Amino acid sequence: MKNGQPSAFQTDVYEAVKSVPRGKVATYAQIAAMSGHRGAARAVGNALHVNPFFGSVPCHRVVSASGRTAPDFAFGGSDAQARMLRDENVEVKDGKVDLYIYQWRGE
């Protein structure tokens, strides 16, 4: 945000992302839906991009609907994201994750 203060939407998104357990991943649309903003997958991606609270918000656990990692990951490229996911026991194949196994289904 312009004031350096995240909006309610971003807070909801961050909370949703933080709700993802270690070793699991979630899609942008899923985060949007669980945060109360159904269909706001785009806004979710944008929110994470403009607000990279690394350490507080595990944005590396957020992938596209196809399990694809972020193409322009701001923390060292998609490779860094894949590496972090692998560090959490998440198998990353060619920058992609098996959603059938690692997609978080909690809420």
Partner DNA sequence: CAACTGACTCACT
Partner DNA sequence: TAGTGAGCCAGTT
47-106: contacts with DNA (CB under 7 A): 47-50, 52, 59-60, 62, 64-66, 68, 70-75, 81
d(C-alpha 63, C-alpha 47), whole Å: 14
Shortest Cβ 21–DNA spacing (Å): 18
Site mask for DNA (CB under 7 A), range 20-49, x = bound: -------xxx-------xxxxxxxxxxxxx
Strand 62-63 and strand 26-27: pairing?
parallel
Give the rounded distance of the alpha carbon of 15 from its chain centre. 11
Shortest Cβ 77–DNA spacing (Å): 11
59 part of the active site: yes
d(C-alpha 107, C-alpha 95), whole Å: 26
Please report, as ranges, the residues that interact with DNA according to CB under 7 A: 1-2, 7-10, 27-29, 37-50, 52, 59-60, 62, 64-66, 68, 70-75, 81
Q: Just list the catalytic residues.
A: 59
